[in-house]
Amino acid sequence: MPESRSAVATILNNQFIDPLYPPDQAANYLGVTKQTLAVWRCTRRYDIPFIKVGRLVKYRKSALDTFLDNRTHG
């Protein structure tokens, strides 16, 4: 019989596996400024998925890694 997990436990576990970064940390991870990341988000210059809850914006680390992988040449 599969183990039953609460929704909260699942969310907490996923946070450790795929953390959410606020814009300043996401920008630092990508090596750009927070303002550059905001421009990319608003103009959709690059399609980096983000999560928005109210006014808060968060980026999954896996989305940032995918963005970097897709931009890797050679």
Distance of alpha carbon 23 from the chain centroid: 9
Distance in angstroms (rounded) separating the CA atoms of residues 53 and 32: 23
Please tell me whether residue 19 adopts helix, strand or coil conformation: coil
Q: What is the pLDDT of residues 7-41, one digit of tens each?
A: 666 666 665 689 999 999 999 999 999 999 999 99
Q: In this predicted structure, what is the pLDDT of residue 34?
A: 97
**DSSP string of 29-52?**
HHTS-HHHHHHHHHHTSS----EE
Q: In this predicted structure, what is the pLDDT of residue 17?
A: 85
Distance in angstroms (rounded) separating the CA atoms of residues 71 and 38: 19
Residues 43-50, mean pLDDT to the nearest whole number? 94
Q: What is the pLDDT of residues 61-71, one digit of tens each?
A: 999 999 999 99
Confidence of residue 74 (pLDDT cuts 50, 70, 90): confident
Distance in angstroms (rounded) separating the CA atoms of residues 36 and 49: 15
